[in-house]
């Protein structure tokens, strides 16, 4: 008889990505990729600004948030005061530094991460409401998108014993 953490195994993760910043997008992609690598069924649902992750011309150009991020640091010891994030060019500098560090430790770009997830059996969905609201055409999206679905459709996919929803 299994007890504790062993008694409940996650069989499916359903990750909602609603923001388009590098820190949010990569959190969703890392969790999704980790799930498929562990043999866990994975559904990624992109809504609102998270949809930039799936737009071909934008997907590898996402930025880090320089404003409103109190954990932003210039180094291990030097925290960037929040007010400095609003200076012109600061977002580009922070984004470039983050991209350089991710390249250094071999974190793939968004497009490659999506390919890894899809080839591992993960499903990538886009929110119909957000697509309609932002007037995005299906042709603008990566071919890795499994479908454009409603929230109700997403909940239908997300059900089942051992299923978890993660909102990022």
Residue 3 lies in a domain: no
Query: Residue 20: which domain range?
Result: 10-60+111-168
Residue 2 lies in a domain: no
What pLDDT is stored for residue 117 in this prediction?
Answer: 97
Is the domain of 82 the same as that of 164?
no
Residue 54 lies in a domain: yes
Is the domain of 138 the same as that of 158?
yes
Question: Residue 18's domain is classified under what CATH number?
Answer: 3.40.1260.10
What pLDDT is stored for residue 66 in this prediction?
Answer: 73
Smallest CA-to-CA distance from 26 within 79, 62, 71, 1 is with 62
Q: What is the mean pLDDT of each run of 10 residues along the chain (168 residues)?
A: 57 95 94 95 96 94 78 73 75 81 89 96 98 96 97 93 89
Is the domain of 101 the same as that of 166?
no
The owner of tokens 């992109």 is: 46
Is the domain of 40 the same as that of 16?
yes
Order of strands, edge to edge, in the sheet holding 163-167?
A: 147-149, 123-127, 41-46, 12-17, 163-167
What pLDDT is stored for residue 152 in this prediction?
Answer: 95
The owner of tokens 């071909």 is: 56
What pLDDT is stored for residue 89 in this prediction?
Answer: 80
| C-alpha to C-alpha distance for 32 and 123, rounded to whole angstroms | 9
pTM of the model: 0.85
Is the domain of 26 the same as that of 39?
yes
Is the domain of 49 the same as that of 119?
yes
């Amino acid at each position: 008889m299994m007890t504790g953490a062993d008694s409940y195994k996650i069989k499916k993760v359903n990750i909602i990505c609603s923001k388009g910043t590098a820190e949010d997008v990569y959190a969703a992609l890392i969790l999704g990729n980790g799930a498929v690598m562990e043999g866990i069924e994975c559904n990624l649902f992109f809504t609102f600004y998270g949809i930039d992750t799936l737009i071909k011309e934008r997907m590898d150009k996402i930025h880090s948030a320089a404003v409103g991020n109190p954990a932003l640091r210039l180094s291990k010891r030097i925290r960037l005061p929040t007010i400095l994030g609003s200076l012109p060019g600061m977002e580009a500098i922070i984004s470039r530094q983050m991209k350089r560090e991710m390249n250094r430790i071999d974190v793939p770009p968004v497009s490659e991460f999506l390919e890894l997830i899809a080839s591992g059996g993960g499903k990538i969905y886009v929110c119909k409401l957000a697509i309609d609201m932002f007037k995005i055409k299906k042709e603008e999206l990566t071919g890795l998108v499994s479908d454009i679905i409603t929230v109700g459709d997403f909940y239908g996919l997300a059900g089942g014993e051992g299923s978890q929803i993660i909102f990022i």
